[in-house]
Amino acid sequence: MKVFVTGGCGFLGSHVCEYFIDQGWEAISYDSLTKYELRRTGYATEKARMHNWDFLKSIGTKLVEAD
């Protein structure tokens, strides 16, 4: 089975991808990889998103990057 996760490189989306992959599904992440949260919160969102994406790649998630 396949699951399409919007915002898959963010905090919640990355956990959703991980959950479904652990259940044997194929996860496809759709994410714009924007840095909006970094400006809004001051949190190191860019590093967190890239860390999440590196992890998701390592467990077999595919990425569809939004414009």
- pLDDT tens digits for 2-58? 899 888 877 788 889 889 999 999 888 887 766 665 555 555 556 677 777 788 888
Residue 24 pLDDT:
94
Q: Domains plus CATH for the chain?
A: 2-65 (3.50.50.60)
Residue 42 pLDDT:
54
Burial-class residue 55 by CB neighbours within 10 Å (0-12, 13-18, 19+): middle
Max CA-CA distance within the chain? 38
Q: How confident is the model at residue 66 (pLDDT cuts 50, 70, 90)?
A: low
Residue 30 pLDDT:
82
Six token digits for residue 67: 């414009």
Q: Which residues of 11-31 are buried (b: 16+ CB within 10 A; e: fewer)?
A: eebbebbbebbeeeeebbbbb
